[in-house]
Structure 1
Amino acid sequence: MEYYKGLINSLQRGVVSPVYLFYGEEEYLKEKAVEKFKEFLLPQAADFNLDLLDGEEADIDTVISFAENMPFMAERRLVIVKNAPWFSGKGKNEAGGEDKGSGKDTVLLKYLNNPASTTCLVFVAKEAVDRRKKTYKEISAKGQVIDFKMLKPSEMITWVNQIVKGTGKTIEPSAARAIVEANGKLGLLNLKNEVNKLISYLGSEQEITSAIVGEVGVINIEQNIFTVVDDAVAGHTSKALNGIRELLSLKEQPTKILALLARQLRIALQAEALLREGSPEREVARKMGIHDFVIKKALTQIRRGGSQRMKWALQEIATIDAAIKKGQRDFLPAIETMLIQFGQME
């Protein structure tokens, strides 16, 4: 969370760059940062010096036009472009080099070479960025690029404690850990919603305990999928089947369950492939853009289950999904058969 604290500290001291690029998985902190820019850079009731654009709708010429406008009776304009698409790797040619024909990049690079000193232009990327692109490098040189990484579990626990303390309540350390383990991988917004729900449930009570988390905390579907895969690779087929039935009882759609099962298997296989290629385990999460404890869990699963069994299960899930969509198979008996076969494989 130090990257966020450093950014806000700079704003408080009046140190503002002409251009920023925000990217990364932690959407909640990105939104908070955007709000802080509005708070610190614009005087009260100065919305006429604020432009909010959607990069999926506005072209780069429009963005530059707004950025080049002069502020009205103020020191600075603020232009925020959400869903900015000009920093991903999609513009690469087949050899992996930059797309030389990108007129959009040329227009943006021309502006970035000499950005308006009276405008703070903030790009919020929707997708992963390619740090090899000239647009990325130019913003790094002329402004600031900030990777809004998912927080470490220990940082999330500290954050949960701060949120609870701010309400005048307390929380058991084990309860804070349980909330983070169940919901942390979906980010701080999800955690905040869970904490708010628990605070409301407390009423006049003072402390959130592990027992209360167990009663009220909702274990999200992705956590349940983790558990199903854990049980399957450990040979606990009946527990894995019960996990699937529990998801169905919670009205989760079969197609969603299959998609998340497939996603977890792909994460495990991709992580193992990176290890085989020589990437240190600590680098795998960064390369895949996934939280480190998710990768650790996935690697544990594939070590227990074996890559060949995982590949078979991934292919079987695709087969089941196609058959269900064609009306040829029913979800529950199909997934039960798959899990039983998986458990019997050597």
Structure 2
Amino acid sequence: MIPAVDALLKDIRNKRIAPVYLVHGDEPYYLDRIAEELEKVAVPVAERGFNQFVLFGKDTDVGAVLNYARRYPFMAERQLVLVKEAQQMAGIGDKSAQTLLEDYALNPLSSTILMLCYTKEDGKPGLDERKAWVKAFGAKGKLLGVKKIYDNKVPDWVGEYCREQGVKVSPKACQLLADHIGNDLKRLAGEIDKILINLHVGEEISAATVERLVGISKEYNVFELQKALCQRDVVKANQIVDYFARNPKDNPLVVILAQLFSYFGKVLLVQSSKDQSEKALASLLGVNPFFVKDYLSAARTFPLLKVADIIHAIRRADALSKGIEAPTMHEGDILRELVFSVLH
């Protein structure tokens, strides 16, 4: 959990409620979680019909939102006005509308809780915290920005999420989920929740559990491909590649290449490190010490120059997958060519 998010959630759970909230960033999981927590405590269940308003940016505008905020609650102490996808509100980019938001944030109605959830959309700039109206939310309430976590932090996030649910999880299970799903935290949380429903009391989430309940093949996954490459097992590596080629939707090439690039990039770091202790390497690679032996084994299998050649081959495969050089080349053939170059 991001410390600032954790602190805000604790304040909300303890009913230390601010009059205005502006949460923003490119990680919708945390924006939704904060909003859900506020919905739980802001207004009693019996009073929500008349005093809780959940709006969506694409269906409203700044003026309408402020009209809701300025009304008084109906036979209740306070009301909640929550705007999801606030970046889509009509007029949100206009100076006049921003001035109205600033004026309200500086003088909020004490009986209203106003929360704007502003999601950074792909290819568009995020919220500028230097703007006066944004600063006003921070001055009189809570302003919080959250960013997507880096891929190498996802296994730690999985472990932390499982611990929050009171369940033990193995390092390999964390890595398997991270490799299969990536840094989509909402989807990760959903998959873990599904696992928990089918888990026996006191049972640990193991790699086998993930393979069984998430639908990851036990024999044919990127973990096993990396292992086959490291062991120079030509037959096994090609069996896995053939499986990937037959099931491209479940095994997209772009994801496989990204994971192989990360793997061999870490092998290169191991080879260039002066300190070869398990603790130092785990810190350098940003991985659980459980996995250090795998990278050490790969570093012994492939000489430094060969690893550099492999990374170059992965980059070439990525270019081919995007139609550069060979616009009609099949994804399975691209991966077969890559595996051949790694093993020969």
Please classify the TM superposition score into its range, dividing by the shorter chain length: 0.5 to 0.7
Query: Cα offset for 1:78?
Result: 0.7
Paired position in structure 2 for 1:8: 9
Aligned AA (2:137): I
Tell me if structure 1 keeps the 8 A contact 2:87–2:118. yes
Query: Cα offset for 1:335?
Result: 4.0
Query: Cα offset for 1:72?
Result: 1.3
Give the secondary-structure state (helix, strand or coil) at the position aligned to 2:214.
coil
Q: Indicate yes or no: 2:182 matched with 1:180.
A: no
Q: How does 1:1-346 map to 2 (within 5 A)?
A: 1=1, 2-24=3-25, 27-47=28-48, 48-85=50-87, 102-127=95-120, 128-148=126-146, 150=149, 153-154=155-156, 156-165=158-167, 171=168, 175-184=169-178, 185-187=183-185, 190-191=188-189, 193-194=191-192, 196-197=194-195, 199-200=197-198, 202=200, 206-208=202-204, 210=206, 212-213=208-209, 216-218=212-214, 242-249=239-246, 251-253=247-249, 257-260=252-255, 304-305=307-308, 311-319=315-323, 323=327, 328-337=328-337, 340=340
Give the secondary-structure state (helix, strand or coil) at the position aligned to 2:81.
strand
The answer for unaligned runs of 5 or more in structure 2 is 121-125, 264-285, 288-304
Q: Aligned Cα RMSD in Å?
A: 4.8
Tell me if structure 1 keeps the 8 A contact 2:24–2:118. yes
Tell me if structure 2 keeps the 8 A contact 1:21–1:144. yes
Tell me if structure 2 keeps the 8 A contact 1:194–1:217. no
Give the secondary-structure state (helix, strand or coil) at the position aligned to 1:140.
helix
Query: Cα offset for 1:258?
Result: 4.0
Tell me if structure 1 keeps the 8 A contact 2:13–2:41. yes
Tell me if structure 1 keeps the 8 A contact 2:58–2:88. no
What is the CA–CA distance in structure 2 between the aligned matches of 1:131 and 1:336, rounded to whole Å?
48
Aligned AA (1:337): E
Give the secondary-structure state (helix, strand or coil) at the position aligned to 1:52.
strand
Deviates more, 1:26-35 or 1:52-61: 26-35
Query: Cα offset for 1:80?
Result: 0.9
Tell me if structure 1 keeps the 8 A contact 2:98–2:133. yes
In structure 2, do the counterparts of structure 1 residues 152 and 342 end up closer, same or farther at CA, with 3 Å as the change threshold? closer
Q: Work out the number of aligned pairs and report it.
A: 292
Tell me if structure 2 keeps the 8 A contact 1:17–1:120. yes
What is the CA–CA distance in structure 2 between the aligned matches of 1:155 and 1:247, rounded to whole Å?
27
What is the CA–CA distance in structure 1 between the aligned matches of 2:164 and 2:13, rounded to whole Å?
21
In structure 2, do the counterparts of structure 1 residues 194 and 243 end up closer, same or farther at CA, with 3 Å as the change threshold? farther
| 1:99-126 per-position Cα deviation (integer Å, ceiling 9, x unaligned) | 8x64443443333333333211111122
In structure 2, do the counterparts of structure 1 residues 141 and 336 end up closer, same or farther at CA, with 3 Å as the change threshold? same
Give the secondary-structure state (helix, strand or coil) at the position aligned to 1:123.
strand
The answer for unaligned runs of 5 or more in structure 1 is 92-98, 166-170, 269-291, 294-302
Aligned AA (1:333): D
| 1:224-260 per-position Cα deviation (integer Å, ceiling 9, x unaligned) | 99759968997969576555433344x3339x82444
Tell me if structure 1 keeps the 8 A contact 2:320–2:334. no
Give me the TM-score of the superposition, normalised by structure 1.
Answer: 0.63
Query: Cα offset for 1:75?
Result: 1.9
Paired position in structure 2 for 1:280: none
Give the secondary-structure state (helix, strand or coil) at the position aligned to 1:333.
helix
